[in-house]
Amino acid sequence: MRIGQKEAGMSMSVTDLLRRSELFYALTPEQIEQIIDLGQEKVYNARDIIIEEGDPSDEIYIVCQGMVEVEVSQGVVPDVPGRLQVNPIVRLGRGQVFGEMGLIDRGARSATVRCAEDGTTLFVVPRQALVGLCEGNHDIGYIVMRNIAADLSFKLRHRNLQMGLAGEEV
């Protein structure tokens, strides 16, 4: 997303950017550092597949900068046996979290996430390490799970509005 002159500068460190993600809302700086210690930055280029629908869920991702696109398969492409038709359902930019469903239910990836811009920087936290921290420190665990629930709720509201508005006339 670009919003003309309203786009913020990108001089913040990854730590500062992560502190501005909703996943970390209401955590103390020390608690945030504990989570940051679990993960690492990864940089992707446009069209890179970050996670693939159906794969095991081993990590949770936070967009530090750049953009990713989430897409789900919808049957097969007509006249092309075996090739799945994909449907983009949302693009996620700075501060957004994905891969969180697998953190909660340990199910397979529900969607494919593809990098949409060169140089997109993600912070990647191994699922098992984050679960271990949340189970060992219930103060952190409660806040992180509440923040993930709030994020999932926001995404559902976005999806509901998207489906409702797609058919409206401009």
Partner 1 sequence: MIYKVSYVVVGEQHPGEIVNQDLPPEVGDPVTLGGEEFEIVEIIDLAPPRGDFAYLHATCKPV
User: What does the binding site for partner 1 look like in residue numbers (CB under 8 A)?
Assistant: 1-4, 6-8, 20-22, 25-26, 67, 69-70, 88-96, 116, 150, 153-155, 157-158, 161-162, 165-170
Q: Which amino acid is at 15?
A: T
End-to-end Cα spacing for the chain: 21
Nearer CB in complex with partner 1: 19/129: 19
In the complex, least distance from residue 126 CB atom to partner 1, rounded to whole angstroms: 24
Distance, in Å, from the CA atom of 39 to the CA atom of 50, rounded to the nearest integer, reads 16
Nearer CB in complex with partner 1: 50/92: 92
Nearer CB in complex with partner 1: 13/82: 13
E strand map for 68-170: 68-76, 84-92, 97-98, 112-115, 120-126
Instruction: Name the one residue in this structure whose structure tokens are 């460190």.
Output: 13
Tokens of 69: 């696109």
Nearest by Cα to 61 from 86, 44, 73: 44
In the complex, least distance from residue 81 CB atom to partner 1, rounded to whole angstroms: 25
In the complex, least distance from residue 93 CB atom to partner 1, rounded to whole angstroms: 3
In the complex, least distance from residue 35 CB atom to partner 1, rounded to whole angstroms: 17
Nearer CB in complex with partner 1: 4/78: 4
Nearest by Cα to 70 from 41, 49, 45, 40: 49
Nearer CB in complex with partner 1: 58/117: 117
Three-state SS at 126: strand
In the complex, least distance from residue 112 CB atom to partner 1, rounded to whole angstroms: 13
